[in-house]
Amino acid sequence: MFTEYYKKIQIQEHNNEKDKDRIKAQKQWKYLDKLIEKYSNIDISDVTSSSFNDSVWEPPLGHETNAFHFKKYVNGASELPMQVYLKILAIHLVRYEQVSLSSIKGFTSFLSGLYAIIRTSASPVMQARRGAPWLPLSELEPSDITYSLDQMLEVHADILRVTLVLNWIESTQADSELGYFVKGFITPWSHEGVSVKTWVQDFKKRHDLVKEEKPYSALSEETVSAIVANAMPFIEGIEVSPENGIRMSDIDFENPILSIANCIREIMTSSEVSQQNMPAHISKSQKFIELYEREKDVLERCWCSKDGFTINKPEAYTDQTIMGDWFTRFFGHIQNAAIWIVALTTGLRNSDIRSLKFDCLHYSKRYEIWFIKAALQKTKNTIYIPVGVPSVRAIKLLNWLRASDDDDVLIQNRTIDLNPWATRKRTDLKIKRGMTLNQKLQRFARHYNIRLDTIAEGDEEGTCHSIRATLAGYIGRNSSIAILILKKLFGHSNGLMPDRYIRHNIYVQKKRKQQLEAMHSEVAHGIAKSIVDKEVAGTKGEELLKGTKYLAEKIRRENESLTEMDVHKKLTDVLKEIILNDIKNEQTQTLLTPMGVICMRASNHSADSPCAVTINKAERDKAGVSRAMFGALAQLPNPAQCIGLDCPDALATKTHSLPLLGQFDWYTNVLRQCTAENLDINEDAKHFLEVYYPIVMANDMLKEAESFRKKYSPALRKLYSDIKPEGYFDV
């Protein structure tokens, strides 16, 4: 009887759940249909030229971008909720998040990644047959998303793109329409309380996807020279004066190339010219024909000739008309030349060059210099870059080339419009993608058969960031304060970033190698001369003097005609060569320590040096390993804990050990002026006593002074007795 009652309860609960699901489904589909009706009747032409219900959204008129292929990823009969949501999300991103239409190409890519996550869910998330209930995206737990991303790695390596979409989804919960689908949605990184970048890095580490970041490599000197040589003719003659500022004048258009460009502009804006078939109007203009013939040689040298771009139709009006493509390429070529000059002289990032405003160029009357004001996109700060005449000319030219004043960017993606009435007026002319700017730079180089090979192994093709590395390398080779200059010029917040640009440049490496070799040579000569002049002290000094005596005798035996002066010089050269080879081959440390001695310890020495024995022992004890395990390994010294001449590897020289003499002087004053025996003292001594006596007595420095003088007196007497009075080094 109890069993029958329990079954009735189960049937009743089941029916109640079915009623709840039916009511929920009715509400969901009613709301979904309202959304479809709303968006089917509103203007979405800023996102697509198709209708809302189309499975493929073609790009808006006038935009050369790829389409949204919804039917490729979300086209099943049960997937209408997901498709509606993604369409509204696309409209939202374009209108309110300023996601560029050029990102449409990647949209289908992340749609596949996103829907791969959805389909792995066991529950009907955002999918159901009409009339059946469906679950919102918030049903996906952070662990579900992480698991799905794990599974996606085999088919979709660009996890960062998918996480970007998930970030967008999470951020749209406040929207009244989108929030209906995603209310309560939490990403794994939000759940863990970390940034998406940190989460992705950890994710990649777990899957061994972390690759060593390869530094950008600079362009070769030959490449830069060829680029500059071909770009300069386009800006020659442009006037640079604070009075005219960024505006072009009649003097500027005396440049042959610019005179033709200006002539084309004037014909296009003339009220007497019909806007139809503009290429034919320009080509048949007497002013243009005469100017082109006069400057034909210059144009051919710059590879701007119309040859190959002329229509040949003897019976038609368009006969001998220059194709519209030539005009577009001509103006684009001028713009590309100017971009190269700005990039090479400022070192700005790709995104920062694209973001320069038309009024970025300024003149300082106080300092009498031109500078560019640049808002950095990466660090969100503004920097001011001093520039020379070529940059000023290039920026003036780029400003003149702007097709529209309605967009304030300096470098616009359109420089000439041969059919302005047939084309919808454009107000957004900023170059959205870094690839587009790189292509402009590459197109200019390719025009002159210049290979943009970098100086890296493998000769990868250069990009805008390679130009940045090129400028950094040039500064690194020619300035001793390169890090400071680049930190300011590149807008870095620390000194590590500019150093990355410099130290990977092979030209800089070559320069540094030369400087290092010169420094090593100087050090080796100084040590060798000190040894030959017998101006060395310490155990290592005595050891080197014995070896030098043997070398001197050998030199005399091999050439008896040498004078003592010749032997001295020859001995210095031989010793220098020996010491220099040891330094180059890293056979000795050759470090100048804070104690004013040179550490001449052999690099392959496996025993603990006196300066490192305490620290090494502490580290071994902490690690729980025995000293025997390190017996075959070279042990580095610790110069910060140098014990001076007590170390058998320490070399004191007259040139390098002046700090020791200064310390000896100080302790001498302590003993002479802080002891009771010396009552008859001068004013300087009284001052010394007033300042130092309490410190000396409180720290028991008298014993320390006696110990120091006793230890270093013999060595310093040997090195500096000629510059100190007799008895100064007596203890």
**The pLDDT of residue 400:** 92
**CA distances for 613 relative to 387, 618, 628, angstroms:** 55, 9, 14
Higher-confidence position of 113 and 93? 93
CA angle 307, 313, 314 (to 5 degrees): 110
- Poorest-pLDDT segment among 327-336, 364-373, 478-487, 533-542: 478-487
**The pLDDT of residue 712:** 84
Identify the residue whose tokens are 């320590």.
593
**The pLDDT of residue 489:** 40
For the chain, what percent of residues have pLDDT higher than 70?
Answer: 72
Distance CA 655, CA 587 (A): 23
In the chain, the largest separation of any two C-alpha atoms, in whole Å, equals 131
Order of strands across the sheet with 369-375? 361-364, 369-375, 382-387
Whether residue 447 has pLDDT greater than 50: yes
pTM for this one? 0.49
User: Within 183-318, where are the H helices?
Assistant: 188-192, 196-206, 221-231, 256-269, 278-283, 286-294, 296-301
* Residue 611 backbone phi and psi in degrees, to 5: -80, -15
CA neighbours within 13 Å on the CB side: how many for 306?
20
Interval 553-609: pLDDT, tens: 888 888 888 888 888 888 888 888 888 787 777 777 777 787 888 888 887 777 788
**The pLDDT of residue 646:** 84
Interval 128-170: pLDDT, tens: 888 888 888 878 788 777 777 776 665 455 566 677 777 778 8
Whether residue 2 has pLDDT greater than 50: no
Query: By CB neighbour count within 10 A (0-12 exposed, 13-18 middle, 19+ buried), where does 65 fall?
Result: middle
- Poorest-pLDDT segment among 255-264, 430-439, 559-568, 630-639: 630-639
Whether residue 506 has pLDDT greater than 60: no
DSSP state of 646: G
Identify the residue whose tokens are 């008309």.
321
Interval 47-90: pLDDT, tens: 788 888 888 888 776 555 667 777 666 666 677 888 888 888 88
**The pLDDT of residue 274:** 61
Interval 663-707: pLDDT, tens: 888 778 777 766 655 445 556 566 666 666 666 565 566 777 778
Whether residue 543 has pLDDT greater than 60: yes
**The pLDDT of residue 154:** 53
Higher-confidence position of 584 and 235? 235
**The pLDDT of residue 397:** 93
Interval 254-273: pLDDT, tens: 899 999 899 988 888 876 66
Whether residue 396 has pLDDT greater than 90: yes
For the chain, what percent of residues have pLDDT higher than 90?
Answer: 3
Q: What is the mean pLDDT of the chain?
A: 75
Whether residue 245 has pLDDT greater than 80: no
Whether residue 197 has pLDDT greater than 80: no
Query: Residue 667 — left, alpha, or beta (φ > 0 → left; ψ -120 to 50 → alpha)?
Result: alpha
CA angle 543, 546, 547 (to 5 degrees): 90
Distance CA 196, CA 183 (A): 20
Q: In CATH, what class is 221-503?
A: mainly alpha
Query: Residue 653 — left, alpha, or beta (φ > 0 → left; ψ -120 to 50 → alpha)?
Result: beta
**The pLDDT of residue 628:** 61
**The pLDDT of residue 496:** 37
* Number of neighbouring beta carbons within 10 Å of residue 499: 17
Task: Give the orientation angle of helix 104-119 with respect to helix 142-152, to 10 degrees.
Answer: 110
Span 437-463, average pLDDT: 73
Q: How confident is the model at residue 488 (pLDDT cuts 50, 70, 90)?
A: very low
**The pLDDT of residue 723:** 85
Span 450-469, average pLDDT: 63
Distance CA 513, CA 319 (A): 64
**CA distances for 249 relative to 243, 594, 702, angstroms:** 11, 64, 81
